[in-house]
Amino acid sequence: MKPNFRQFIKFCVVGTISMIVDVGSYTLLTRMIQFFYSHYLLANAIAFIVSLIISYVLNKKFTFQNNNKAIGVQFTKYVGVYTVGLVISEILLYILVDRIGIYDLIAKMLVIGAVLFWNFTGSKFFIFDKDVHGKI
């Protein structure tokens, strides 16, 4: 299996774990705490932050096997790339739920799929780039 494809598969595994944490947190917030039911975009942002931390650790260690010690700089880049992903996610979620009328949990799954490619490209070529951070 080619290294880039192998990394993409690992990224998808980590993404699946992150998605479970993200959707689980979102569902818990919007279904168990009444305040968040009407503030689903805020719940989406909170769930994003929780899953972001988990996905960073897993992608660093498992997907890209990155040993860079400048974690602060690297995590800042990670937050930057994934924040753009969050903005894309928030816009798409708003359009799908409020404008098109798709059930929020279905819309969330569609949005996660759409943001996947942005996040992989940013992770591979900007955050965990072998030329910047050492051998992958």
The overall average pLDDT reported for the chain is 88
What pLDDT does 53 receive? 93
- The residue with greater pLDDT, 97 or 134, is 97
Q: What is the band of 135 on the pLDDT scale with cuts at 50, 70, 90?
A: very low
Burial of residue 66 (number of CB atoms within 10 Å: 0-12, 13-18, 19+): buried
Instruction: Tell me which residue has tokens 């650790």.
Output: 57
Q: Per residue in 9-67, pLDDT tens? A: 999 999 999 989 998 999 999 888 888 878 888 888 899 899 999 999 999 999 999 98
22 CB-near residues (< 8 Å, 6+ apart): 47, 48, 50, 51, 112
* pTM exceeds 0.75, yes or no: no
Portion of the chain with pLDDT greater than 70, in percent = 94
- Domain extents in the chain: 3-130
